[in-house]
Structure 1
Amino acid sequence: MRWFLWLLLVVALITGVLYGVGRFLLPNNLEVTRTASIERPRASVFAMINDLRIAKEWSPYYARDPDADYAFNGDPGEGQSMRWISNVREVGRGRMSIVSSSENEEVQSILEMGDRATLNSVIALRPGENATSVAWTVTADCAEGAVNVPCRYMNLIMRGAVGAELESGLTRLKTLTEQLPNVNFEGLSPQFDTIEPQNFVYSVVETSAVDLTEVNRAEAMGLEQVRRFMSEYQLTEAGPLVRVVTEYDQATNRMSFRVGYPFSGPTPLTVVGVQLGQTPSGEAMHVLVEGSRAQVRTAYAQMNAYMQAHRIAMRENGLPWEVVHNQGAVDGSTPTRLEIYMPLQ
């Protein structure tokens, strides 16, 4: 009996020491940070973290079970949530919600791992030298009461595991983001609308894709035919000049496009030298560009990069088109002002 009392005393002593260490020496919160440098502009990285439909692709849990069931609610950014259910024990079930989003700077989320834990996540972006610095921090606080001290010990154990998860996720984020075009589209501000078709009289122009003088000359010849036809048949312009790209051959630097005007009035029964049709229509992403011709080309590259980063698909066999409000001069003395449209699925 005496030995039993000694055993109780030893157990009580050890328990007291463990409680004291946990209560007064171990931190009440878990905080783990991992960093990465991604060789893409921060707008591309932000697109990958601000939409949970995309974020799941680089999540360490997705890597463990790509066949898990996912359900999403809300648009990208603040308020969007994602639920998942997996038969893989390490993945289990959970919910992630974006609680705060600062464009191109930071995304804050809450991660609920079933009944196991609730974690706070902050991913911060900082522009660097030809790269974006990414810092991913996960925190958790222990509740008061009987679970407080065990929770502190659990945080101590979880620290290494959480760090490994963050490193895995950042590695996948870096790999996927660096597959995107290295084009900075920050500040692009595209609009999304449903565009109605209009009757359209146009000429087909085939010309160099790089010689702007030649492009202007060929387009002017095509427009001369269009204006002559419209005058002859008393057609009224129903909108600005429209230019529809139909083909671009990068190998030969040649392109063809339709150029002309929407019109109102009876459709002519006879057509010579020009063609009749309708302007492109349907769901489209569009951007207003004001500046030099070089800026117009830059805008095309930015729109393409934006669509890839946000997983926005162009309509199959869809043709980009331009609505030209001001043609502009080749020498830049008069700025170009036009809208570029990309047809969407």
Structure 2
Amino acid sequence: MLEVLTYVAIALIAAIAVTLFIASRRPDEFYAARSLKIAAPPTRLHGLINNLKLMNTWNPYALRDSGGTARYSGPDAGPGATFHFAGKSGTGSVSVTDTSPSMIGMRLLMTKPFAGDNRVEFTLKPIGDETEVTWAMKGVAGLPGKVFSLFVNCERMMARDFDEGLANLKAIAEAA
């Protein structure tokens, strides 16, 4: 019996070592982006993104966490506007860091489920009577995130969420 347990322990240690080795070979950075054309002017869309309270009327992460805790600080919109959250999507904050008529930059600081400091960008590109909105996120992938990504396709998950959010944004912007 002791021999069997020894072999199981060795196999388990080897599996963990292989998993960590494979995860450590994954890219040190990640990037995900999705775009959608919306029949609204960039100024209308800018206001729905730059103001975090308005953004959370279409943001799928905030909509899913309606039972979580949420707090706003700083100005209503623009640099310094911050949304602090804790819920199903995790715990952290998102702050507007920079803004121009064609771009809104944000910093997403996560403490749970994994610590992270990510850059979020929304770009607004006029195309005729429409505006192409691109929602992108990039950041550093630490070892826990790399291990997690071996089992869950995080970029596909983010793409699905970004598509949902952009569709929500489209519905709100085009209804006005």
Give the helix-richer structure, 1 or 2: 2
Output the amino acid matched with 1:18.
T
Residue 42 of structure 1 corresponds to: 42
CA radius of gyration, larger in:
1
Write out aligned runs for 1:1-345 (5 A). 1-24=2-25, 26-66=26-66, 69-84=70-85, 89-91=87-89, 93-102=91-100, 104-117=101-114, 118=116, 119-143=118-142, 148=143, 150-156=144-150, 157=152, 158-180=154-176
8 Å Cα contact 2:33-2:159 kept in structure 1: yes
Size of the alignment, in residue pairs? 170
Percent identity, aligned pairs only, is 20
Measure, in 2, the Cα distance between the counterparts of 1:153 and 1:169.
27
8 Å Cα contact 1:29-1:155 kept in structure 2: no
8 Å Cα contact 1:29-1:152 kept in structure 2: no
TM norm structure 1? 0.44
Measure, in 2, the Cα distance between the counterparts of 1:17 and 1:66.
40
8 Å Cα contact 1:127-1:133 kept in structure 2: yes
TM norm structure 2? 0.81
CA RMSD of aligned residues (A): 2.4
- Asked which structure has the greater RCO (Cα within 8 Å, sep 6+), the reply is 2
Measure, in 1, the Cα distance between the counterparts of 2:91 and 2:23.
30
Unaligned regions of 5+ residues in structure 2, if any?
A: none
Measure, in 2, the Cα distance between the counterparts of 1:37 and 1:22.
36
Unaligned regions of 5+ residues in structure 1, if any?
A: 181-345
Measure, in 2, the Cα distance between the counterparts of 1:16 and 1:92.
28
Output the amino acid matched with 1:133.
E
Q: Provide runs of 4+ in structure 1 moved above 4 Å.
A: 65-69
Measure, in 2, the Cα distance between the counterparts of 1:37 and 1:75.
26
Output the amino acid matched with 1:43.
T
Q: How far apart are 1:36 and its partner, in Å? A: 0.8
